[in-house]
Structure 1
């Protein structure tokens, strides 16, 4: 009887294996038929993996080094969760070189110091000023400084990536951030033709010097607006013609010196709240001993979904330099940030991580190169970590629901069943994430594609057809 049962079990296992092999072969054939639609000029890598069974369901050119575009954000955010923890708080601190805040005056410099808090706004700054007002501060016997020393002072990606040719506009990346380091210029052309245009600026501070020569015209024209920062003012120029219309033209101008911009804004708000200042507004040249008065913070758990769901490049680059500062214990720069990511990949045994090229946190650079296999391995490590998986998965765009996949799968079977990160540059489309299949299984997919013909939409359709087939049949 025991021998008979053993034989029956053996036959049953054999039957299951045969069914599985036939099933997998059938699936591979269908997937290959979709891949045959990819133009021969397209370089691509694909990896489909079951993390529970540790089976590679399909792989094609999965070790090919390709431009990932915004899929690089998966590396940035995964490293941040591991190194900092999702509850880590990014700070903006107001403090002083004077330790006594109780006598109505600050006998020293007032300093606004940033620690990579990329969501810090004018409203948050108002809250910090209100703390000073409520403390009864009436006089500052010193200067008002912005302190950006947590990061380096290389604000432009073009300056830290040699021969960078990215054509994606990005605000200056700094440790001290105010309203994404931009201010708004509104131009009013609701006037008679020939009249000078009106204008307004936000935030409304007294450090602007505006040269306005733009006039209202009848024909189709838009005004030109530019700015330049000096040691004691923000020079704004409005020129050209503005076609007459009822609603204003609105421009966001980036502060080429974000630290000085924050200091100017803080100084202005202090004065308008009745606090006299003996000195000027400026930037701190070297780190000072700071006695904290108040702080404004943002949790990493709030920032990471904005990066992964909405593919926010600015937030990603600020977080990238934060990783560098935390990892090195010295300063946030691109070199230390890359070292932080590479160290994370090494510690988590991502195969051949040393062959990857990661030069920024957003994926804007075309010098980034990774493989579909490395992304799949990264997502597997997170999947197997029960403390991090749910948060990370839900930080990704949900098919047909939110983020960059909001409209892509609204009427698809994949709606609410795929959690992914998109990537888009000229000639590049990528998609990686977690697929929950019809049968309740979870699999990892990664598509990296660099194309010269047919366009992004055509290649996305192939990705979608493979995902829909997997959802239905695995």
Structure 2
């Protein structure tokens, strides 16, 4: 019996038991809370002992650093060059993952679908699932040949249209050519077997997919004719005139959004961060998706002076963001309905991800959740530090520091030491005495 799934039909009987991907119900994300802006950053309510400690921690390098520390009231407890936009490296992922979580929700899954058209030909559509592998490709080949199902085997070659991005969209134009040969610089495509990386980057993922699909079909005694076609956006798919006659022969789904967020933030997986930004914007041209991300940041009521989004991962050296923007974003997301998912996606000092080997056995161990960032000449770290006086939203970005790791550790310890701020007690007592 067929099951209708808007806008397509999924043939539940096409594949053997155990092969059909499970259909997971999704929840609808809330609308952006543009009517409930964050408290404005309170620059007058600083913590002077912390400010002095940060200045001392920076030593002779204050000009190459931007450092911001906020509390949950928006008090700018410590700030050095916090309004100067710098290259953030992978701290950029905090922006793209927040955008994706807000727009798509924690249960969203990336889909790869084999669709039969009214004329009997087929389409393979994808959304950039980073975990799509060879086993999934084999299941698609099986579905295309209709082996093991109630319809038997097709006669004649399978006509398959593969909807994939043109080569000009595979990499942001400003990614350095040398980076494109490594796994961390793999091309960003909708149908990406093993995230387009096998040791290093796969230089022509469409050709690889075509070759492996043909090989799998031939191994099963069939033949296939493949042609590349322009992908469709989610909006275009919804508006297709023939959508009611489309049949989904097989579907592979990614891990849910909260797992994808962790892959992007905890493990700093560039491919996943890039896909999430594009999918949230429903735009796979990176420049258009970047503009949509900037617009979302502005809609959140964040301080966005100097913000420039060039990609979703931070590999581009054309990204610019201030430490005030990132710290305010962390505060914003801590108030978001999906805050637990966002926080859970980050690395943990001394325990998990890119922070697992840092600050182990120190007071910071287990108390700091954050995102690191490193490219040549750039070191950044931003996250939430749990203190005796509540959370501290910390962002540190250096462009040109000679001792970034030392400075970062010293500043985190200073934030712990001055939470609560010693100077914050006196004004409160004086105010109470006057009453």
Unaligned runs of 5+ in 2: 1-43, 233-239, 420-435
Q: For residue 91 of structure 2, what is the aligned residue in structure 1?
A: 71
- Within 1, Cα distance between the matches of 2:376 and 2:298? 31
Matches within 5 A, 1:109-148: 109-131=121-143, 132-135=146-149, 136-139=151-154, 141-145=156-160, 147-148=162-163
How far is 1:146 from its partner? 5.2
- Within 1, Cα distance between the matches of 2:45 and 2:124? 65
Q: For residue 401 of structure 1, what is the aligned residue in structure 2?
A: 351
How far is 1:383 from its partner? 1.0
Q: For residue 283 of structure 1, what is the aligned residue in structure 2?
A: 228
Contact 1:148 1:259 in 2 (8 A): no
Matches within 5 A, 1:267-278: 267-274=214-221, 276-277=222-223
Contact 1:95 1:110 in 2 (8 A): yes
Unaligned runs of 5+ in 1: 1-20, 99-106, 184-250
- Within 2, Cα distance between the matches of 1:127 and 1:143? 15
Q: For residue 267 of structure 2, what is the aligned residue in structure 1?
A: 310
Q: For residue 388 of structure 1, what is the aligned residue in structure 2?
A: 338
TM-score (norm 2): 0.75
Match for residue 330 of structure 2 among 370, 379, 388: 379
C-alpha distance 69-271 of structure 1, shift in aligned 2 (>3 A): same
Comparing 288-297 with 413-422, greater Cα deviation is found at: 288-297
- Within 1, Cα distance between the matches of 2:45 and 2:109? 51
Match for residue 424 of structure 1 among 368, 374, 380: 374
- Within 2, Cα distance between the matches of 1:130 and 1:301? 30
Contact 1:144 1:267 in 2 (8 A): no
Q: For residue 300 of structure 1, what is the aligned residue in structure 2?
A: 257
Contact 1:79 1:340 in 2 (8 A): no
How far is 1:336 from its partner? 2.1
- Within 1, Cα distance between the matches of 2:333 and 2:230? 41
How far is 1:152 from its partner? 4.8
Matches within 5 A, 1:126-275: 126-131=138-143, 132-135=146-149, 136-139=151-154, 141-145=156-160, 147-149=162-164, 151-157=165-171, 160-162=172-174, 167=179, 169=182, 170-183=185-198, 252=200, 254-256=202-204, 258-274=205-221
Contact 1:323 1:332 in 2 (8 A): no
Post-superposition Cα deviations, 1:244-267, rounded to whole Å, max 9, x if no partner, equal xxxxxxx556141x2332233223
- Within 1, Cα distance between the matches of 2:383 and 2:357? 17
Q: Please give the secondary structure, in 2, of the residue aligned with 1:133.
A: coil
C-alpha distance 266-59 of structure 1, shift in aligned 2 (>3 A): same
Contact 2:327 2:395 in 1 (8 A): yes
Q: For residue 227 of structure 1, what is the aligned residue in structure 2?
A: none
Q: Does 1:44 align with 2:71?
A: no
Q: Please give the secondary structure, in 2, of the residue aligned with 1:408.
A: coil
C-alpha distance 365-121 of structure 1, shift in aligned 2 (>3 A): same
Match for residue 293 of structure 2 among 331, 341, 345: 341
Match for residue 448 of structure 1 among 392, 397, 404: 397
- Within 1, Cα distance between the matches of 2:269 and 2:338? 21
Write 1 or 2 for the structure with the bigger share of strand.
Answer: 1
Contact 1:112 1:263 in 2 (8 A): no
CA RMSD of aligned residues (A): 2.6
Contact 1:255 1:261 in 2 (8 A): no
How far is 1:286 from its partner? 6.9
C-alpha distance 56-252 of structure 1, shift in aligned 2 (>3 A): closer
